């Protein structure tokens, strides 16, 4: 079931959303394939650790995070991928690795790759490995107020 914190936030803010079930999947590309959606519509969440603490990067599933681009764009001295063991405690109501791109609900800043802004709707994990939430990108941007930037490169 969609994580309680996310459901309450969406409901309290009058967001129209659709919860879609899919086969159990652990990577963004597996989810996109399972749901028969293009990878650019599905949000992949990547956790980054830096001298400023943890941050969440949201990018299309068909792209890879570019740590150097993110680091330079934010003027950071150090930025690296955070391991699941490092960040899992930050999302107590989510299955490990299935957190939605709503870092603001957990006190974590969110950075969005500009390519996610190009589609009117986005799809993302609902806090578990078998459901996804579909909402308008405009609603996501209004609720999360992420910083939009260049943060990815084509997946190999």
CB 131 within 8 A of CB 19: yes
CATH of the domain at 23: 3.90.960.10
pLDDT digits (tens, 9 = 90+) for 105-146: 999 999 999 999 999 999 999 998 888 999 999 999 999 999
Dist. CA 113–CA 95, nearest whole Å:
24
Domain count along the chain: 1
Range of the domain at 107: 4-154
- Higher per-residue confidence, 113 vs 1: 113
Residues comprising the chain, all counted: 156
């Amino acid at each position: 079931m969609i994580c309680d914190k996310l459901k309450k936030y969406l409901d309290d803010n009058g967001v129209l959303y659709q919860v879609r079930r899919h086969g159990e999947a652990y990577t963004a590309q597996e989810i996109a394939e399972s749901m028969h959606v293009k990878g650019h519509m599905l949000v992949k969440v990547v956790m980054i650790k830096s001298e400023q603490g943890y941050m969440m990067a949201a990018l299309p599933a068909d792209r890879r995070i570019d740590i150097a681009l993110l680091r330079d764009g934010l003027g950071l001295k150090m930025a690296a991928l955070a391991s699941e063991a490092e960040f899992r405690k930050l999302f107590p109501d989510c299955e490990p690795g299935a957190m939605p791109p709503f870092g603001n609900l957990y006190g974590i800043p969110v950075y969005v790759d500009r390519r996610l802004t190009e589609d009117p709707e986005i799809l993302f994990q609902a806090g578990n490995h078998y459901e996804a939430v579909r909402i308008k990108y405009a609603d996501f941007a209004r609720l999360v107020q992420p910083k939009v930037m260049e943060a990815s490169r084509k997946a190999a």
